[in-house]
Amino acid sequence: MKQFVLSFNPENTDNGSEKELILTDREFHYLIHVRRYSSGDSIPALSPDGRVFKMSVLDVGKKSCTVGLTQVFKENTEKNSPLPRITLMPALTRGRKMDLVIRQAVEGGAFAIWPVLTENCQVKFRKDPDTSGKNERWQRITVEALQQCGGKYSTALETPGTIADILETWDRRGPLFFLHEQKTGNKEPNSLHQYLAEPFEDLAIMVGPEGGFSPGETGLLRDYGGKPVYLGQRVLRAETAAIYGLAAISTIIRESSEWQTA
């Protein structure tokens, strides 16, 4: 079911009463002009912290509307499901390709997206005011995708970083897989089924750029304990590989949990 994603966390909504709010700008435009809701209509709403609401349109003006929020669930069940929290770490790609990765990763259920700066990246990212527009666009895309797919938790969007920086911050909170274009020999399984045989609360999958990871980057990932994953002989575009890897891991985990309970 499609839903409305709030840009803020409403306060004092756990007593069962309706809380009135005024929506303007993008939120007003999406609800009234894109979704074409009018007074008396209702739609599910999701806050960034995972609470679920029933949102009713009370009044519509020219540039704003008044809505009423009634909290339905205090905690989000999907966020606390047995499925591990999957962080997708795609190499930074140019323009619309990165937009596509972010949109489809949200639709695919990624818990977080962490863009990676690699040696073979075709685009650079600087932590200065010039990049604020790019960050805002990515955040807007995550909201649009969440509204479209009806997911029940907000996907976190991390600031791009180098492999070394990301590995330090990740700090082995769970296994980290990296897609590799070649099989790595008999000492490592290379099989997602074998890697995912035991349960995890968190895991990450890192995807390189079109030119692949450099030998130094591959060595860094191996030294850290990263697990190489080989997905076959076909050469995939970076944006395709990112979603391919996310889908493969999600499918194996979901199906394995069903096999265990069958």
Model confidence pLDDT, tens digit, residues 104-138: 999 999 999 999 999 988 776 665 444 557 788 89
pLDDT at 183: 65
Report d(CA 60, CA 257) in Å as an integer. 46
- Number of Cβ within a 10 Å radius of residue 187: 6
Dig out the tokens for 12 from the structure.
């004092």
Contact 166, 116 (CB under 8 A): yes
What are the beta bridge partners of residue 31?
A: none
Arithmetic mean of pLDDT, 146-151:
84
- Terminal-to-terminal C-alpha distance of the chain: 28
Strands across the sheet containing 4-5: 4-5, 42-46, 52-60, 64-73, 19-24
Topology alike, domains 4-73 and 85-261:
no
Report d(CA 200, CA 85) in Å as an integer. 8
- Name the CATH superfamily housing domain 4-73: Hypothetical PUA domain-like; domain 1 (2.40.240.20)
Range of weakest confidence among 120-129, 135-144, 169-178: 120-129
Handedness of CA 52, 83, 138, 144 (dihedral sign): negative
Strands across the sheet containing 156-157: 156-157, 112-113, 85-90, 202-207, 176-179, 227-229
pLDDT at 181: 73
Q: What are the structural domain ranges in the chain? A: 4-73, 85-261
Report d(CA 223, CA 227) in Å as an integer. 10
CA count, 13 A, side-chain hemisphere, 127 = 6
pLDDT at 130: 47
pLDDT of 147 above 80: yes
Report d(CA 195, CA 175) in Å as an integer. 9
CA count, 13 A, side-chain hemisphere, 11 = 0
- Residue with more model confidence, 242 or 16: 242
Q: What is the DSSP letter of 217?
A: H
pLDDT at 186: 53
What Å distances lie between residue 189 and 195, 230, 245, 256, CA to CA?
8, 10, 16, 18
Q: What is the DSSP letter of 30?
A: I
Percent of the chain whose pLDDT exceeds 70:
84
Looking at residue 29, its amino acid is H
| Helix, coil or strand: residue 63 | coil
Strand pairing class (202-207; 85-90): parallel
pLDDT of 70 above 70: yes
Handedness of CA 145, 149, 153, 155 (dihedral sign): negative
The H or E element containing residue 61 is: none
What are the beta bridge partners of residue 156?
A: 112
pLDDT of 82 above 80: no
- Residue with more model confidence, 59 or 259: 59
Angle subtended by helix axes 132-149 and 95-107, to nearest 10: 30
Arithmetic mean of pLDDT, 58-77:
83
Nearest CA to 105 out of 166, 158, 174, 155 is that of: 155
May I ask the CATH architecture of the domain 85-261?
Answer: 3-Layer(aba) Sandwich (3.40)
